[in-house]
Amino acid sequence: MASSSSLLGLAASLALLSFFTPSSCFDPTAISYNDSKVALSWQSGSATWYGAPTGAGPDDNGGGCGFKNVNLPPFSAMTSCGNHNLFKGGKGCGSCFYIKCLGHPACSGKPSHITITDLCDGGICLDAPFHFDMSGIAFGSMSYPGRSNELRHAGRLAVEFARVPCQYPGRTISFHVEQGSNPNYFAVLIEYEDGEGDLNQVEIMESRSRNWVTMRESWGAIYRLDTSRPLNAPFSIRLTDDKNRKLVARNVIPANWRPNTVYRSVVQYS
């Protein structure tokens, strides 16, 4: 994986890029790459693609991480399944990578920026230590202009990949309260964390309490808490990322919270 100094250096470069970009919508295909300024730790792997040739992968535009509408910004279909070494039982959800293909005439050699949003847990995904089963759009983006269909017809490709910081310019961390949540069962999907992009721990604090309670990972990027008594909102949520950095979204879930609703915080790992 990339060293902390490499990630910090790349984060600074991407932050400058977002500052000078007039649009507030993040286009992951437009990230600039300069090999002479950013030292990345490249590893070898393999890649395939699934779903529609110009789609985001899953038919429902979701996936095993629980993210919704990955065909839309900020993911913009630049997404991928990861095998177990990338998905990490759900803890790899939201992690970001540069990936470039090798050994095919249509491969441009220019890295594409992708995000892990799904799991590939069988078949060809088990044949290599690191395998990406990418969306049709993401896979095609590794080609020279006008040759994406040619690349998609190539089948399995050898790739090089490097972990990079995630960047969501103009966005703060969001919390989607999942359908089925109630006063005794609270489940939340956490999205758009800059930096590491994935989480090691999620804790919740009730109203009029000083105690942080660890939430269980339900599946993917969804965390849950089951209680024998009704929970007292509003809730604060504390996140710990893969580098052990903590971030508190104070009272981010209001007293009148509702299931299937997104609550946007005012905090970010920038």
Give tens-digit pLDDT for 104-125.
999 999 999 999 999 999 899 9
Mean pLDDT value of segment 131-148: 98
Residue 29: phi and psi, rounded to 5, are -80, -10
- Higher per-residue confidence, 34 vs 229: 229
Question: In whole angstroms, what is the distance from residue 39 CA to residue 206 CA?
Answer: 43
Give the H or E element holding residue 10.
helix 4-19
Structure tokens at 8: 């910090």
- Residue 262: beta bridge partners? 176
The pTM for the full model equals: 0.83
- Higher per-residue confidence, 27 vs 67: 67
Question: In whole angstroms, what is the distance from residue 178 CA to residue 258 CA?
Answer: 9
Which of 1-15, 233-247, 255-269 bottoms out in mean pLDDT, i.e. has the lowest?
1-15
First to last CA, the chain: 20
pLDDT at 17: 35
pLDDT at 28: 53
Amino acid at 115: T
Question: In whole angstroms, what is the distance from residue 21 CA to residue 234 CA?
Answer: 36
Percent of the chain residues topping a pLDDT of 90: 81
Q: Per-residue pLDDT for 36 more than 90?
A: no
Mean pLDDT value of segment 44-59: 95
Mean pLDDT value of segment 236-260: 96
pLDDT at 242: 85
Question: In whole angstroms, what is the distance from residue 92 CA to residue 115 CA?
Answer: 10
Instruction: State the chain's mean pLDDT as an integer.
Output: 88
pLDDT at 14: 40
For residues 217 and 90, the answer to whether their CB atoms sit within 8 Å is: yes
